[in-house]
Chain A
Amino acid sequence: MRSPKRFLAYGYLAALLVFIYLPILVMMAMGFNESPNYQLPFRFSLVWYQQLSGNEILWRAGRNSLLLAASTTIVATVIGTMAAIAFSRYKVRGHVVLQLLLFPPMAVPWLILATAMLICFYYTGIGRGLHAMLLAHVALALPYVIVVIGARLQSFGSELEEAASTLGASAWQTFFRVTLPVIAPGVAAAALFAFGISFDQFVTSYFLSPPGVTTLPVEIYASIRKGFTPEINAISTIIIIVSMLLLLMVSRFYRFGGTN
């Protein structure tokens, strides 16, 4: 009696997954198609990947993206870890207000944040450029980092730390020998998150990039507006695969965090 219903339910989910993956798979396939106008029949070719390897502008943008994502990861993870510990282990004055302040980057449209940052950086003399993008990316990634590490911290009591300090460990010893190893999976997941957020961030980079200094998403947007080139398919395919691998790693770390 239940089986036709079940069939319908699974069919629905399958249709949903097709909807979600159709454009991505089409794009990946077109990256390997010889025709520049996405014409079928499909003829396998690596020509777009060859062209991509000769595209200096995209390579430079890619280097910027990687540099930015790496610096964002380091800065956001260090600050985020400290903030998460401060929130969960000490009574920080006004911590409710501070925690509420973490929400805007997740709830306000990025467009508004980006224009706000542009104006703010302009008036404070920071201007535009990679350093401005770094500030913006750190600001966007921090809330996620704090939430992820905070969740890990919450799942452990502070007993271990208290035990360490009653046994005579200094604050630093306690942190490096007890707290850090315990929250390490959370920190790793948070770092991957930060990297992913920065690497994919388009809106703030777009507003904060001065002429000549671009990141990969900004460059891709520019070429889409100028007109299609199948090279974009090739680079997009690479980016998507990298992001998905990152997410799979995050989910692994999360699993570890959950079962402990």
Chain B
Amino acid sequence: MMMFYFSFLSRMPFGAAEPALTLKQYALFFERDFYRFLTWRSIMLGVHVTVFCVLIGYPAALILARSVEGRWREAILLLVVLPFWSNALIRIFAWTMVLRTDGVIDQALHAIFPWAPSLGILYSYPAIVVGLVHSFVPYMILTCYISLQAIDGALIEAARSLGASNFTIFRRIILPLSLPGLVVGVILIFVPTVGAFMEPRILGGTQSIMLGTVIEDQFTEVFNWPLGAALSFTLLAIVMLIFAAAYPLLRNRLKLA
């Protein structure tokens, strides 16, 4: 733990020091449009992936918490979480077989509609999004499920007996009360997505340049560690800003727990 703590500290002085302290690396970041563009791209990737995870995960959590009962609920939850503990790298690799031109989706489609155009989307931006959504949607389901399950059924009964419609109940009771879980899920997904490098590399092909992949290159291919460190520190700053923005909601959640 101390080691880890230390690694955290030692990074900050290093960010710009090589061998003398300089801000050159950071200046580079702000001077070149390229890096700003990359940062923007990475953030947009994070937004897209997070939005899809919310759209897919929240309804699933709602169904699990509200209309599935007993053993089924446990079993489905376990099934949702199970693959999520297996290696992320392997799951991403598996998508390449499904998504590529002439891959499984294509072949299945062509078996039914031989004239259909190819749906292979490997090495494109949508492929990256699909892979990342697949990796992170269980986070969203779990965090939303936990806060949805904690809602007192009596509140909903009360609202219904007072004549509220299903939509009103959802908008005025369920959504606000499950918001903390939703926010935690959004953070848990957004943060790693912005820093992703392996997924874009494998699924993205030439579309794959993100902040994360550039950092990877700086460390493993180009050996420009100072620039890499400066870029990762920038990424860290973005993450911290997001946490700072979400802090009030997180604090509320801690109070509830």
Contact = CB atoms under 8 A, between A and B. Distances in A.
A26 B88 CA distance: 16
A172 interface: no
Given A9-B63, A239-B87, A119 B229 contact: yes
B55 to A, nearest CB: 12
Given A26-B104, A111-B235, A247 B215 contact: no
Interface stretch (A55-63, A163-171, A181-189, A218-226): A218-226
A83 interface: yes
A24 B8 CA distance: 36
Contacts of A105: 4
B35 to A, nearest CB: 16
Contacts of A38: 97, 103-104
A180 interface: no
Given A83-B1, A119-B11, A109 B239 contact: yes
A240 B87 contact: yes
> Which among A5, A112, A118, A225 has the greatest number of chain B C-beta atoms within 10 A?
A112
A22 interface: yes
In this complex, the interface size class of chain B, counting residues with CB under 8 Å from chain A, is: 35 or more
B98 A115 contact: no
Interface stretch (B25-33, B74-82, B155-163): B74-82
Interface in A205-226: 206-207, 217, 220-221, 224-225
Contact of B86 (A40, A118, A206, A243): A243
B254 to A, nearest CB: 12
A19 interface: yes
A221 B89 contact: yes
Given A26-B97, A111-B195, A220-B89, A21 B83 contact: yes
B173 interface: no
A118 B11 CA distance: 10
Given A200-B87, A240-B87, A243-B86, A13 B97 contact: no
Interface stretch (B113-121, B143-151, B175-183, B197-205): B197-205
Interface string B221-237: 00001001100100110
B125 interface: no
Contacts of B76: 13, 17
A213 to B, nearest CB: 15
Contact of B94 (A27, A135, A247): A27
A116 B11 contact: yes
A23 B85 contact: no
Nearest to A218: B89
A111 B7 contact: no
Interface string B40-84: 000000000000000010011001100110000000101111110
B87 A243 contact: yes
Contacts, number: 186
In this complex, the interface size class of chain A, counting residues with CB under 8 Å from chain B, is: 35 or more
Contacts of A112: 195, 232, 235-236, 239
A244 B96 contact: no
B244 interface: no
Nearest to B141: A16
Given A135-B3, A228-B96, A20 B86 contact: no
A13 B81 contact: no
Given A40-B107, A221-B89, A221-B198, A139 B191 contact: no
B37 interface: no
B95 interface: yes
Contact of B95 (A23, A220, A221, A228): A23
Contacts of A118: 219, 225
Interface in A26-62: 26-27, 30, 38-40
A6 interface: yes
A171 to B, nearest CB: 23
A110 B195 contact: yes
B220 interface: yes
Contacts of B129: none
Given A115-B229, A247-B81, 8 more contacts: A13-B76, A109-B239, A111-B212, A120-B11, A203-B198, A217-B89, A224-B93, A244-B82
27 contacts: A13-B60, A26-B98, A38-B97, A40-B107, A101-B1, A101-B5, A107-B191, A107-B243, A109-B192, A109-B194, A119-B10, A120-B6, A120-B7, A123-B14, A138-B3, A139-B3, A202-B88, A207-B219, A220-B93, A224-B89, A224-B202, A236-B87, A236-B93, A239-B87, A240-B83, A240-B90, A244-B82
Q: Which are the 4 A-B pairs with shortest beta-carbon distances?
A: A109-B195, A23-B94, A139-B4, A27-B94
